[in-house]
């Protein structure tokens, strides 16, 4: 379009201005991707991007046509695109309109002062300038109004996304019959993870949901996820409010990095033993101990602090009162104890097996048995897992021995309690070798591999 309207235009100027515009767009993209920026810093960067685009359009106009240039229409495009992707109140949108509208005549005045163009000040040129300026200004005001209308509509939707005192902000997880949302507790004034039971959930799912709430609330150990609230909305949607965890579950760390350092594995295991022992002391067994249900936190001052999640299928040790349908094996096959696979009731020894299978997976990079669910169950009933040190000879012998004892097919041959397992882990040479500096380095590596700076949160 430049060369058809203005044949004498230097090619170099067109190329340089296009490179500048592309660089500004790339800068905006990188700013949007950088989640470490504070809101204020991102806002300043956004203003700079808008100013740069306005300046580029004004420079195009000054070089290619002067006040009567059709390039002023580029400001309309900028505003319309921005109003679509950045809805906001009219009082805020109008500030960006003012910034762009003032940049254009200012650049023209400076260009006229530095390099006088007598033809710019003819009545025809000035009439064209005023006409274009008024039309573009009107369209930009319309764009600001449209931005406001979109903002109002989104606010109405946002305000409607409430469950009781909780305002839903963003989905962060999804399970079989439930969803997990990042939510704002308007009463406690804090962010929470809100587990919501979907409206099509079965009665059995509701029973499991209530069980998880009751069991988790009964645990006081700091390594068990904290439950703040449990209830139902007026339209019958059940929810469970728990602490929002900033980190990643151990299965995610495995997928990102493979086997973990032995000292780090012991560091995690020692923390997992505490809430499991408390649950056993209260007559409860978790029944689904696995990497995905152990969350490592990366909050400042608490990196690699562990939290135990998901008591949804826990049951009472003394009876089958909390058991679900007869004949249904609940849990994840790769971490289920052999006796549970045979249909026997889960006991504390089953949790010890589950934690042992988790340690095996963290150290070897693979679970004790691999294959389909049916194949894994069959292997557990007929064989033993491959010795841990055959996967990696550098795994300490004392840690490998403790892990393999947890995986003994006979419950009586395993550790008698989580406390006994904890004592065995404390006796390992690598038990105290994982430092806060090691944790910080490991998390930096994890974030680089994942290519994110936000929390990898799974609840």
Q: Could you give the residue numbers annotated as active site?
A: 288
CA–CA separation, 89 and 144 (whole Å): 8
Question: Residue 185 to residues 154, 192, 222, 266, 309: CA-CA distances in angstroms?
Answer: 20, 7, 21, 35, 20
CA–CA separation, 379 and 290 (whole Å): 18
Give the 3-state secondary structure of 80-99: HHHHHHCCCCHHHHHHHHHH
CA 41-44-45 angle, 5° bins? 85
CA–CA separation, 158 and 445 (whole Å): 36
Residue 316 Ramachandran class (φ > 0 left, ψ -120 to 50 alpha, else beta): beta
CA–CA separation, 363 and 335 (whole Å): 15
DSSP per residue, 423-454: HHHHTSTTTT---HHHHHHHHHHHHHHHT--S
CB contact set of 387 (below 8 Å; sequence gap of 6+): 400, 404
> 130 burial class (0-12, 13-18, 19+ CB within 10 angstroms)?
exposed
């Amino acid at each position: 379009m430049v060369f058809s309207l203005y044949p004498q235009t230097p090619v170099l100027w067109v190329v340089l201005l296009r490179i500048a515009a592309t660089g500004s767009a790339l800068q905006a993209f990188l700013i949007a991707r950088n989640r470490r920026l504070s809101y204020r810093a991102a806002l300043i960067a956004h203003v700079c991007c808008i100013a740069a685009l306005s300046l580029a359009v004004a420079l195009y106009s000054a070089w290619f046509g002067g006040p009567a240039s059709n390039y002023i229409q580029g400001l309309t495009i900028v505003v319309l695109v921005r109003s679509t992707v950045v809805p906001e109140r009219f009082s805020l949108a109008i500030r960006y309109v003012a910034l762009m509208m003032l940049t254009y005549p200012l650049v023209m005045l400076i260009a006229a002062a530095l390099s006088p163009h007598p033809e710019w000040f003819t009545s025809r040129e000035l009439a064209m300038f005023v006409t274009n300026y008024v039309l573009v200004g009107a369209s930009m005001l319309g764009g600001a109004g449209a931005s406001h209308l979109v903002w109002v509509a989104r606010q109405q939707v946002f305000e409607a996304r409430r469950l009781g005192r909780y305002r839903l902000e963003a989905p962060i997880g999804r399970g079989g019959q439930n969803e997990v949302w990042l939510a704002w507790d308007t009463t406690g004034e804090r962010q929470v993870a809100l587990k919501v039971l979907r409206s099509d959930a079965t009665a059995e799912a509701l029973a499991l949901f209530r069980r998880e709430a009751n069991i988790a609330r009964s645990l006081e150990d700091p390594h068990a996820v904290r439950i703040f609230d449990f209830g139902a909305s007026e339209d019958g949607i059940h929810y469970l409010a728990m602490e929002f965890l900033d980190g990643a579950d151990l299965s995610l760390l495995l997928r990102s990095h493979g086997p973990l350092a032995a000292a780090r594995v012991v560091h995690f295991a020692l923390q997992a033993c505490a809430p499991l022992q408390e649950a056993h002391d209260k007559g409860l067994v978790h029944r689904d101990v696995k990497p995905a249900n152990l969350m490592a936190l990366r909050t400042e001052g608490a990196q690699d602090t562990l939290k135990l999640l998901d008591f949804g299928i826990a049951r009472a040790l003394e009876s089958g009162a909390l058991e679900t349908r007869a004949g249904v094996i609940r849990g994840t096959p790769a971490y289920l104890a052999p006796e549970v696979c045979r249909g026997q009731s889960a006991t504390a020894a089953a949790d010890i097996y589950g934690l042992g299978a988790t340690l095996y997976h963290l150290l070897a990079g693979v679970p004790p048995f691999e294959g389909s669910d049916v194949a894994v169950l069959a292997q557990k009933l007929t064989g033993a897992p491959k010795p841990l040190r055959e996967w990696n000879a550098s795994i300490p012998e004392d840690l490998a021995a403790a892990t393999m004892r947890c995986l003994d097919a006979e419950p009586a041959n395993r550790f008698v309690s989580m406390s006994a397992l904890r004592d065995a882990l404390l006796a390992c040479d690598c038990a105290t070798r994982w430092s806060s500096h090691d944790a910080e380095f490991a998390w930096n590596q994890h974030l680089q591999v994942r290519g994110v700076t936000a929390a990898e949160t799974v609840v």
